[in-house]
Chain A
Amino acid sequence: MSENAGSRNPLQLRDQPETCRTADAEERSAWQRVIGRFADNCRARSLFVLHYCTGCGAIELPPTITSRFDMERVGVSPMVTPRQADILLITGYVALKTLKRVILSYEQMQAPKYVIGFGSCTINGGMYWNSYATIKQLDQYIPTDLFIAGCMPRPEAVQEVFLELMRMIDAGKANAWRDYYRNYDHYLANQQALFGPQWHTPTDIVAEAKHYGLMGPGTTGPHTRLLDQHAEWALDRIPEDYPERGENERSER
């Protein structure tokens, strides 16, 4: 069963006929559209990259940002915590343990947020295609805007992807983050497939979607109900056997 039920190829996502800018539902009034246009203009020119080296490709970032290629010319600068960051760079293969931290960081980042997959490992497994420990397609677990081919793309390629991302933001097309809210159940399904039904993160995505009006048809489904059933604890009273306990080697102590 090579085709995992419900998994959709993000590249096809690209080809969906998204006409110009009406994708953003609430931008109805002219005034909001002007504001939105200006906001997108500023968003494109001020990108904060999360300083999180998930894999081997991270070594390409310093030259991109420092004096030789100097991405600050176009407004890209590194930021330390996910709260302040806009772009999450997944630089190389993603082991299962790293994926948990990647998902946590992604959910702690504030929308609009963009994910760029470096190298072939994030596209289709790369040279670790037959490894039991790494994931093969990044976009099954978190929505990804752009991929860069190559087994570690050079700074020029990274520069090119930043410019491409800026063009997409300017055109209002970099909306993969909406997909996470709209089809959260799909992503959660993939995540739970890997980590088991107990899996959840402190961030409450469904409540966030409700709060900001980003609910979509796929936001809630069988898996989010599984999530609620497992997390019947209210956030106040996290039970002793919090699923991640084993993860943090609690038994070691």
Chain B
Amino acid sequence: MTLSLLAELIVMPLIAFVVGLALVLMMRRVRARIERRIGPPLLQPVYDIVKLYAKRTQVSHGIMHDLAIVMLLGGITTSVCFLPVPGLEGLARQGDLLTLVYLMMVPMLGLALGVGSCANPNGSIGISRALTAMLAYDVPFVFVVIGLAVAYGTTSLPEIIAHQQSGGIATWGAAEMPLLAIAGFIAMHAMLGKEPFEIYVAPAEIATGPMAEMSGKYMGALFVMQSFQLYTIGALYVTMFLGGGENWLTFLMKLFAVVFVSVALTNVYGRYKTDKVIRFMWTWPTGIALAGLALVMMH
């Protein structure tokens, strides 16, 4: 069994990476289409990442800058291993939803430490905004996770998926707890860090924030993180509310649908200021999530 587990631990990150790249491509294509452009070729994300990794000279700001990137890569691949996908359960039984939510914060901390050691105030301001945004969108997300855990009576992801798939669409998370699904979606959208919550990579204000001093493979690692982030957040939403993947086809369709809606929304919004992000996230999605939680606690 351990061999297959070991194989799973290798395959899951690779799948996540490939699907993530496809998601990134879709995102850029959707953006192009909205701007009445054709958009990048099929393999553009691959080209970008390979070019960044193949850079001849790269700037590092000390050992912590390098270790932070290693911690980032390690963190995102670990969190993927705890996310059950059709056929591959990985380590889902060793850690539950709460563990996964925390594991997704490790890469954020790694990025923060790396950017901090770049000694560039643009990066520091970016990270301060990123952490503030995290505080903003995690409040509704917490109520969603609690509501889910109380509704299903368990926080282990395989059980949640089993429960949702037991009665077809009727027992999907979204069907049973629509309010939590909506609040969850808004929180997930904010997690992706795209407009209107793109305050920490604001190119016009703080020179792409955390990425200001990232060159070559450091920038490549951030591109990889972006693809992993799209996959993880999309897959988490699908697992929590859309009944996870009976098989790979339906799983990918749900995943691309969720990310498509979110990405489509992104390109029609400007960028909120930091305190506007906090005020919005702590009023509407939190209110909806609280209502959902109250409903769940009712019965």
Chain A residues close to B by CB (< 8 Å): 35, 38-39, 42-43, 45-46, 51, 66-67, 70, 72-75, 77, 79-81, 83-84, 86, 110-112, 208, 212, 214
| B299 beta carbon closer than 8 Å to chain A | no
Known: A67-B35, A72-B28. A46 touches B48 (CB 8 A): yes
A43 and B36 alpha carbons, distance in the complex (Å): 26
| B177 beta carbon closer than 8 Å to chain A | no
Given contacts A73-B41, A79-B208, 13 further A-B contacts (CB under 8 A): A42-B50, A45-B41, A66-B35, A72-B38, A75-B47, A75-B48, A77-B40, A80-B212, A81-B213, A84-B211, A110-B55, A111-B55, A214-B56
8 Å CB contacts to A: which residues of B60-118?
none
Q: Is there contact, CB below 8 Å, between B41 and A75?
A: yes
| B44 beta carbon closer than 8 Å to chain A | yes
Contact partner, A43, options B37, B51, B59, Cβ 8 Å: B51
A72 and B211 alpha carbons, distance in the complex (Å): 21
Neighbouring B residues of A35 by C-beta, 8 Å: 54
A-B contact pairs, 19 of them (CB 8 A): A39-B54, A43-B51, A43-B54, A45-B41, A51-B203, A70-B32, A72-B32, A72-B37, A74-B41, A77-B40, A80-B203, A80-B207, A81-B211, A81-B212, A83-B59, A83-B212, A83-B213, A84-B219, A110-B58
A70 and B37 alpha carbons, distance in the complex (Å): 6
Q: Is there contact, CB below 8 Å, between B56 and A72?
A: no
| B287 beta carbon closer than 8 Å to chain A | no
Q: Is there contact, CB below 8 Å, between A42 and B47?
A: yes
Q: Is there contact, CB below 8 Å, between B51 and A39?
A: yes
A112 and B58 alpha carbons, distance in the complex (Å): 10
List the 6 closest pairs (A to B, CB-CB), nearest first: A39-B54, A46-B47, A83-B215, A42-B50, A111-B56, A70-B37
Write the chain B residue with the least CB distance to A169: B51
Q: Is there contact, CB below 8 Å, between B208 and A84?
A: yes
8 Å CB contacts to A: which residues of B238-268?
none
Binary contact readout B200-227 vs A (1 if CB under 8 angstroms, 0 otherwise) = 0001000110011111100100000000
Q: Is there contact, CB below 8 Å, between A46 and B57?
A: no
* CB of A209, distance to nearest CB on chain B (Å): 10
Contact partner, B54, options A42, A72, A75, Cβ 8 Å: A42
Q: How many A-B residue pairs have CB under 8 A?
A: 89
A82 and B47 alpha carbons, distance in the complex (Å): 19
Contact partner, A110, options B28, B47, B56, B208, Cβ 8 Å: B56
Neighbouring B residues of A80 by C-beta, 8 Å: 203, 207-208, 212
8 Å CB contacts to A: which residues of B19-47?
28, 32, 35-41, 43-44, 46-47
Q: Is there contact, CB below 8 Å, between B28 and A39?
A: no
Write the chain B residue with the least CB distance to A178: B56
Q: Is there contact, CB below 8 Å, between B40 and A110?
A: no
* CB of B263, distance to nearest CB on chain A (Å): 16
Neighbouring B residues of A73 by C-beta, 8 Å: 37-41
Neighbouring A residues of B59 by C-beta, 8 Å: 83, 110
Contact partner, B57, options A38, A43, A45, A208, Cβ 8 Å: A208
Neighbouring A residues of B203 by C-beta, 8 Å: 51, 80
Contact partner, B51, options A46, A51, A67, A111, Cβ 8 Å: A46
Neighbouring B residues of A212 by C-beta, 8 Å: 56-57
A44 and B209 alpha carbons, distance in the complex (Å): 27
Neighbouring B residues of A70 by C-beta, 8 Å: 32, 37-39
Neighbouring B residues of A74 by C-beta, 8 Å: 41
Contact partner, A72, options B40, B58, B208, Cβ 8 Å: B40
Neighbouring B residues of A86 by C-beta, 8 Å: 51
* CB of A168, distance to nearest CB on chain B (Å): 15
Write the chain B residue with the least CB distance to A70: B37
Q: Is there contact, CB below 8 Å, between A66 and B57?
A: no
* CB of B183, distance to nearest CB on chain A (Å): 33
Q: Is there contact, CB below 8 Å, between B50 and A38?
A: yes
Write the chain B residue with the least CB distance to A73: B38
Contact partner, B36, options A51, A67, A72, Cβ 8 Å: A67
A79 and B37 alpha carbons, distance in the complex (Å): 19
* CB of B267, distance to nearest CB on chain A (Å): 13
* CB of A159, distance to nearest CB on chain B (Å): 13
Q: Is there contact, CB below 8 Å, between B40 and A75?
A: yes
Write the chain A residue with the least CB distance to B208: A80
A73 and B29 alpha carbons, distance in the complex (Å): 10
A67 and B34 alpha carbons, distance in the complex (Å): 10
Write the chain A residue with the least CB distance to B204: A80
A70 and B48 alpha carbons, distance in the complex (Å): 17
* CB of B207, distance to nearest CB on chain A (Å): 5
Known: A81-B207, A84-B214, A111-B55. A72 touches B39 (CB 8 A): yes
